[in-house]
Amino acid sequence: MRTALLFTAALAAASAGASAFAADGALDATFGTDAEFPGFGFYLNPYGIQLDSVVTALKRAPNGQLYLIGRVKDLQDDWRTSIRRLDPDGYPDFAFGDAGVRTYPLPCPDAFTSDAEVDAQGRIWVAFGGCPDFKVYRFTPAGELDNSLLGTGVLSIAFDLGNTNEDDARQLEIDPQGGIVVAGFASALPSRRLALAHYTADGAPVAGFGVDGKADFPAAEIINYVKGLHIMRDGRIVVTGLYAPNPASGRQAVYRLQSNGTLDAGYGNFAPGIASGDLGVAYGDLLKRVFSEGSLLLPDGSVLQVGTGIDYGGPHSYYDVVLIKWRPDGQPDTSIGPFGARAYSLDFAGANPADDNDNYDRAFSFARQGDGKIVILGESRASGSALGATLIRLTPSLDLDPTFGDGGKVRYLTAIATDGNNCSYVDEPLVEPGRIVASMRACIGGGKFAQATMGVENDLLFADGLD
């Protein structure tokens, strides 16, 4: 508890000036607190603070509690899967595991937690990349491996399409029946393929989906990063990502499948079922290529992708947030800007910084409020070049929302690193009634990170359900 107090005090000092206003986007002082000490809008993991950790997902359980899922290094410097359970106010649930956290060995030596979801029964599904086959664990709400799934709590899915036969799971989604869809890549000849598996909650292939619950599609020079997976209301499946074989490349990609796992021939501008676009080529300026990170499926079937692009802002705007919108038919939505894209220069360092790099902005993930507003979570620099957590809110017309923070944007830095190299790396936002919660990692010194959550005020009575 003493560690938690020290961390919280440091965060309070770091954010005192930023939290003076009361508009949406201000740090929520009721988040990350209990009866022992006041909250300041953040909560950092106070257990094993000398151990490195990574956040993969932040999910809400049906009872309102939060799960923070990722990886943490143990005392032997080996990575382990970690699950932290928080009360709705962001404070650890000490009845869960060892003072709020449970850890498990990874399923294979090179594994990493790639995505996670919580189903309607409160069970935690975790997908792993880096193993020879798609690997998914299911945990009970208490954090135990759920042996009701195949007797082990472990689901392994092998595509075995050739070459090395190694399959890599990257995204996970729960279907309306409680089953799962997993998207990633399958090794094959002549090149690896986009791969999807649809399985029931009991761990059986969904009848009628692909072959034995598995489907695969060409990926060469179309997609080599899977960044999003969504299930439409009619059962169709959307996979988003990009093709970026080197740091100077960035071609966006969206696949849409019928519920049976075949490509949706009524969608796309590149090929049946596939939308693809390279903004650098469209503009005739390769510096305008975008590396997208997150995606969002809108109720009308439109798809948003968000990421980072260079050369979109003014002369002192280094990297900027770029939003890409695809129409329900898979064509770029040019109503939001040229070639279906719109850029946002946040520029927290001001109009004329000493170093243009201080106006670096990057976006990672989305959430949609029930009133149609869009929340984007990212990272931005300011004077001094420290990366801080950034929240942006857009109106339904995708303009910056002037009622949120400072003209639609806020930035907070967890300045607690013992060596002064402060930074905040983000994962995803979660919209709740009255609050937006974000998962993140905070630099603690020596190149190590602590898992963290952040809550900001949001004057919204209902998080969703208004469509």
> In this model, does residue 289 exceed pLDDT 60?
yes
- Residue 7's pLDDT is 40
Asked if 228 and 238 touch (Cβ cutoff 8 Å), the reply is yes
> In this model, does residue 176 exceed pLDDT 70?
yes
Tokens 């809008």 -> residue: 41
- Residue 314's pLDDT is 83
Apex 246 CA angle, 278 and 134, nearest 5:
95
What's the mean pLDDT in 158-179?
96
pLDDT single digits (tens) 397-408 = 999 999 999 999
User: What secondary structure letter does DSSP report for 206?
Assistant: P
Hey, what's the torsion of the CAs at 175, 108, 47, 83, to 10 degrees? 10
pLDDT single digits (tens) 4-50 = 333 433 343 344 334 344 589 999 988 887 655 556 677 776 555 56
3-state secondary structure 422-448: CCEEEEEEEEECCEEEEEEEEEEECCE
> In this model, does residue 355 exceed pLDDT 50?
yes
- Residue 396's pLDDT is 96
